[in-house]
Amino acid sequence: MFKPDKLQQRIVDSIREFVEREVIPVASRLEQQDEYPHEIVERMKDLGLFGCNVPEEFGGLGLSYSTYAMIVEELSRGWMSTVGPIGTHSVICDIISRFGTEEQKREFLPGLAAGERRGGLALSEADAGTDVQRISTVAVRSGDGYLINGSKMWITNGRYGNTYVLAAKTDPKADPPYKGISAFIIEKGGEGFKVARDIDKLGYRGVETCELYFDNFYVPARNLIGGVEGQGFKHVMTGLESERINVAARGVGLARAAFEDGIHYAQQRRTFGKPICEHQTIQIMLAEMGTRIEAARLLVYSAAEKKDNGERCDVEAGMAKLFATDTAQDVALLSLKIHGGAGYSKDLPVERYYRDAPLLTIGGGTNELQRLIIARGLIARYPVK
């Protein structure tokens, strides 16, 4: 069984205390009102959470992916939407840290670490989500920069963020298409950048998810990540490894919240003269929930450890994301069933878990895609001799 070291445990304890004191008491109200958690985000800035994976030399905490996964789990246990402002923000920090030029790192990472810059990933489009290489947003060279034309969907931090990593085609005729994708650091503002709308969602409320439009939006050439065209697909895919670990950790946190609510309710609710936790059917549900959560957590730590060691972890991240998010969805439903009619009302948080969980099986690459990634990786690892 994975056991955090003393530093990790202190960090986890502090985040758990923050969640218990400042997140859980207001989560249901903010979620039902679809209100952005400004005060919570400010406290997260004070805690340094926007700089979790930014190297210390640029003002960040320089935490391992394993520690970051623990933080995400605790935040998600309180309210999954609190992870939104730092989720894709951390992905672009990862991309810039790994692939940015020294000038780009110096210019952008300190502000991102401090939370003064709020980051997002401008990747998905209306006709290109899972199939990233089919994006249609283009970047055409113009003088000392590029003109961006196109649109992006499902952009977390689209309304309150200000700094994004954007994927666009610099060579639309490239074959295969992914070789024509480049990644840029873009900043909100300037002519041709428009936040079109906030998307109304079933769950994951309180955190904004937006559609962005670009009409001859100018980006300086110095903002081309790494200074080289055609490398954007690699940049984004590497960043998505960390996002999948992040989403998997969210799944563990949400599943934990649903399980804890369910097992506590089962000990308090009585039917036929005894607590329902003494009924065999409920016991089977609880055993299934607890076992799957523990397995999901170990998969997340396994993927995070490989990422910490600089190893390729697309298969492990895919496994963790697949299993943990499916677990979150299943555990949320089982917890709702344990609560009975009370679980279907908005009086208790369990209905929120049930609405939030499906997004985890979609975001960061659908779970159907994860199965293909895992299968291809396993085939490559076990060739016929």
The answer to whether residue 243 is catalytic is yes
Architecture of the structural domain at 119-230: Beta Barrel (2.40)
Q: Please pick, among 74, 208, 241, 243, the residue that the annotation labels catalytic.
A: 243
Equal CATH topology for 6-114 and 119-230: no
Distance from C-alpha of 204 to C-alpha of 206, rounded to nearest angstrom: 7
What's the Cα-to-Cα distance from 187 to each of 4, 118, 294, 313, rounded to whole Å? 37, 10, 41, 30
Q: In a 10 Å sphere around its CB, with 0-12 CB exposed, 13-18 middle and 19+ buried, how is residue 39 labelled?
A: exposed
For 123, the 3-state DSSP assignment is coil
Domain ranges of the chain: 6-114, 119-230, 234-380
Distance from C-alpha of 218 to C-alpha of 201, rounded to nearest angstrom: 31
Is 148 in contact with 137 (CB distance < 8 Å)?
yes
For 306, the 3-state DSSP assignment is helix
Q: Which CATH class is domain 234-380?
A: mainly alpha
Whole-number pLDDT of residue 259: 98
CATH topology of domain 6-114: Butyryl-Coa Dehydrogenase, subunit A; domain 1 (1.10.540)
DSSP per residue, 111-161: HHHHTSS-EEEE--BTTBSS-GGG---EEEEETTEEEEEEEEEEEETTTT-
Distance from C-alpha of 123 to C-alpha of 154, rounded to nearest angstrom: 9
| Tokens 């009086």, located at residue | 347
Whole-number pLDDT of residue 213: 97
Distance from C-alpha of 16 to C-alpha of 77, rounded to nearest angstrom: 9
For the chain, residues with pLDDT lower than 70 are: 1-2
Terminal CA-to-CA distance of the chain, rounded, Å? Answer: 35
